[in-house]
Structure 1
């Protein structure tokens, strides 16, 4: 069990989380830009308000147990592992709001890969916990929404989002090829 938390896996967890934070903010910028032109109907507002404890602790544990622990494992019995990763990640993404569906899907694929690499559910729980913790810290540290209102910050974060997306895609494609060949 401890080998699942080897320095290489922990570095990969941290890299996935950091890259996902940048990518997620890029997707939020894009969705905010799109929503400026689309009339808004916020049906999910009451569902999105939650406590920090739920976001940081309960969600990572429950979502990982459900989407990686149950769905991914069950889907692998019925479909090839790559499809199981994609389907379980789509289901995971469907729970998230408009601005984060795509980034949640990408993050779901990454943590499914981490789960399959380690065969340890605590690894994706840790990655999900760190992701939500960092995201909430950013919200708390940015009460004036500088990340969304300062043009220079938006530009830098958008560039980081694009770079992060490319790096994440390289990670995903390389690992999905290995999964397809059972070399993970």
Structure 2
């Protein structure tokens, strides 16, 4: 299979776009939780890394570690499906309170893309696109309309739910194929 075939590019783009909407839904949910449970505010600190670290260094280093090393090594110890889940849990553990669950889901999707192509550059590219789109959205929304306008929040929440459903279909379908070695 060609690494950056049109089909892989479409799949990669779909996973990234769906994850962006789902991630914002999870941020809305975590902001809601943080708002009603004040003791969680210690988790609400935001680390503002530079754009270079977020867009370039993180995708390269995290993919080399979590897909390139952990996922590959775990496959020698446990079935591939468990290797995907464990490496994705480890990946998610590095993320902040509001994005742990979406990072776990994204980690699963990236692991599937990696296993489908057997190429770490696809995983790095998807992670790069994800972080780039997220940073562009933050840059284009300096007034935090995505988090302060009720109509926008409602639309984004609906898109998050739909995105989550589509991501789950992608994950379940591909994990079944992975289980049968038909990925």
TM-score, structure 2 as length reference:
0.97
Aligned to 1:42: 42
Aligned to 1:74: 73
Deviation at 1:38, TM superposition (A): 1.2
Count of aligned positions: 182
**Helix, strand or coil: the match of 1:139?**
helix
**1:11-50: per-residue Cα shift (whole Å, max 9, x none)?**
000000000000000000000001001114435737x221
Q: Work out whether 1:24 is the aligned partner of 2:23.
A: yes
Aligned to 1:146: 145
Which stretches of structure 1, 4 residues or longer, exceed 2 Å deviation after superposition? 40-46
**1:53-109: per-residue Cα shift (whole Å, max 9, x none)?**
000000000000000000000000000000000000000000000000000000000
Cα RMSD between the aligned structures? 1.2
TM-score, structure 1 as length reference:
0.96
Aligned to 2:161: 162
CA contact (8 A) 2:43 2:97 kept: no
Q: Distance in 2 between matches of 1:41 and 1:175?
A: 37
**1:125-164: per-residue Cα shift (whole Å, max 9, x none)?**
0000000000000000000000000000000000000000
In the alignment, structure 1 segments of 5+ residues that lack a partner are: none
**Helix, strand or coil: the match of 2:49?**
coil
Q: Distance in 1 between matches of 2:141 and 2:23?
A: 16
Q: Work out whether 1:84 is the aligned partner of 2:55.
A: no
